[in-house]
């Protein structure tokens, strides 16, 4: 699974686990709502600053947002 | 600790644990040596694709490269 998909899935799951809308998460992280939506659709190649900003807003570790589900194969974006 | 510093430290530690030079890691990851050196000096705000490419070259999980040492405070880049 490509890292953008890993991040998209983890971001959405963490946001929903907190009961936050994309709008609320965007506000907390100081980012634009449309950017959150794009990240959850794997459109952008997020930077580690953005990953950390979102992790802080979600009160999770940044590394958690890049964790692959056990057993998934690594697939590199060519 | 800012995420760029977390990544820089983890990247250097993982590279040295594998006994790789910056040159060898750059070759394996298909990146430029000077870019590796810059990342280890916190110069750039790496993307998750780059983090994953380096993790694969180092045979570690991408999430490991963003893991904060226990007890470190989160500091956001303003």
Query: Given CB atoms, is B51 within the 8 Å cutoff of chain A?
Result: yes
Q: Which of residues 20-49 of A touch B (CB under 8 A)?
A: 45-49
> How many domains are there within chain B?
1
- What local confidence, expressed as pLDDT, does residue A67 receive? 97
What's the pLDDT tens digit per position in A15-44?
Answer: 999 999 999 999 999 999 999 999 999 999
Of B66, B26, B28, B27, nearest in space to B48 by CA: B66
Query: Given CB atoms, is A59 within the 8 Å cutoff of chain B?
Result: no
Range of the domain at B44: 3-66
In a domain, A26, yes or no: yes
Q: Which position has the higher pLDDT, B73 or A44?
A: A44
What's the pLDDT tens digit per position in B30-65?
Answer: 999 999 999 999 999 999 999 999 999 999 999 999
In a domain, B73, yes or no: no
- What local confidence, expressed as pLDDT, does residue A31 receive? 97
| Rounded-to-integer distance, Cα B49 and Cα B19, Å | 23
* Mean pLDDT calculated for residue range B12-39: 97
In a domain, A76, yes or no: no
pLDDT category at A73 given cuts 50, 70, 90 is low
In a domain, A78, yes or no: no
| Rounded-to-integer distance, Cα B34 and Cα B52, Å | 18
In a domain, A74, yes or no: no
CATH number for the domain that contains residue A8: 1.10.260.40
| Rounded-to-integer distance, Cα A37 and Cα A51, Å | 14
Contact B48 A51 (CB under 8 A): yes
Would you say the C-alpha torsion A44, A30, A16, A67 has a positive or negative sign? positive
| Rounded-to-integer distance, Cα B65 and Cα A35, Å | 24
DSSP string spanning A19-66?
T--HHHHHHHHT--HHHHHHHHTT-S--BHHHHHHHHHHHTS-GGGGG
Q: How far is B74 from chain A (nearest CA, A)?
A: 8
As a whole-number percent, the residues of chain B with pLDDT over 90 amount to 86
| Rounded-to-integer distance, Cα B47 and Cα B52, Å | 9
In this structure, are residues A74 and A1 in contact, taking their beta carbons and an 8 Å threshold? yes
Query: Given CB atoms, is A77 within the 8 Å cutoff of chain B?
Result: yes
Query: Given CB atoms, is B9 within the 8 Å cutoff of chain A?
Result: no
- Is residue A78 scored above 60 in pLDDT? no
Q: CA distances (Å), A66 to each of A48, B29, B33, B78, in order? A: 10, 18, 24, 22
Contact A46 B48 (CB under 8 A): yes
- Is residue B74 scored above 70 in pLDDT? no
């Amino acid at each position: 699974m490509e890292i953008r998909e890993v991040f998209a899935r983890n971001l959405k799951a963490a946001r929903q686990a907190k009961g936050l809308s994309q709008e609320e998460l965007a506000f907390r992280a100081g980012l634009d709502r449309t950017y959150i939506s794009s990240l959850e659709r794997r459109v952008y190649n997020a930077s580690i600053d953005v990953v950390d900003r979102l992790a802080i807003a979600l009160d999770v570790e940044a590394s958690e947002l890049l964790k692959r589900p056990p057993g998934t194969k690594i697939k590199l974006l060519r």
